[in-house]
Structure 1
């Protein structure tokens, strides 16, 4: 069974409950061969910006940062890594993009879990693979393709 630890440093009225986050993580990990442990930390813009600068050398807050576990060789733990989610950025993006907030939260968490599993979007082929995986996982959660503009529907 997948284990998540949810650390809420910043609270907003509409952020998801722990059980909802667990469902999204479990769905993203359905094809993963082992149980996994993930820390999900919900933060404000200041902490997100500080971590984004420190680890990605980019200024300003971002919706999610993924930190895969870097375990020494021979250490067998179920720890996949940490996800740091900036609630204000996620909420702002959902509003600006005309998306249902809970659907955007689900997408961001699925996106982060896939990063922990080694998926990336640095080049076009990797991006297409990762996006298709996200779309398939979100479909299982009855969430529409997040890459289709609301006006395109």
Structure 2
């Protein structure tokens, strides 16, 4: 089965330790992770930011005054998925340490998670929706050789 096509823009902000995050996110891996989560072709920008930018975006767009791991800005779901995924490097690194995962595995999970959000999946609407989204993430990550993130 052919995977959906993806037009990917991968961007890194300027922050201390950005080299570690670049190393965990080679373009071919990011594209592979996202393409496995897409149900149709996509045009997606992935931006890796510091805590200040992450907090500002979360505050401005979600009304929550803290930096979160991933923010999804979806613009279209059909016929082409168009979205921006913003990941906050310090939060992702901290969570990876706490969860005893590699940085790359945690980024893979969050990119799959954000890509599902961009296609309308939502874990905050009900317990059933949360369970369905988690099951889909586990399935996708398993197909990529990444163990259950939960």
Q: Normalising by the residue count of structure 2, what TM-score does the alignment of the two structures yield?
A: 0.87
Equivalences for residues 62-73 of structure 1 within 5 A: 62-69=68-75
Distance 1:57 1:104, change over 3 A: same
Distance 1:89 1:69, change over 3 A: same
Counterpart-to-counterpart distance in 2, 1:103 and 1:45 = 20
Partner of 1:110: 112
Counterpart-to-counterpart distance in 1, 2:99 and 2:37 = 23
Name the count of aligned residue pairs. 140
**CA displacement at 1:117 relative to structure 2:** 0.4
**1:21 partnered with 2:34:** no
Partner of 1:7: 11
Aligned 8 A contact 2:81 2:118 in 1: no
Counterpart-to-counterpart distance in 2, 1:101 and 1:36 = 24
Partner of 2:62: 56
**CA displacement at 1:12 relative to structure 2:** 3.5
**CA displacement at 1:97 relative to structure 2:** 1.2
Aligned 8 A contact 2:59 2:66 in 1: yes
Counterpart-to-counterpart distance in 1, 2:94 and 2:65 = 17
Partner of 1:69, secondary structure, is strand
Match of 1:44 among 50, 70, 75: 50
Q: Normalising by the residue count of structure 1, what TM-score does the alignment of the two structures yield?
A: 0.86
- Structure 1: runs of 5+ lacking an equivalent: 148-153
Instruction: State the structure with more CA Rg.
Output: 1
Aligned 8 A contact 1:12 1:87 in 2: no
Counterpart-to-counterpart distance in 1, 2:19 and 2:89 = 7
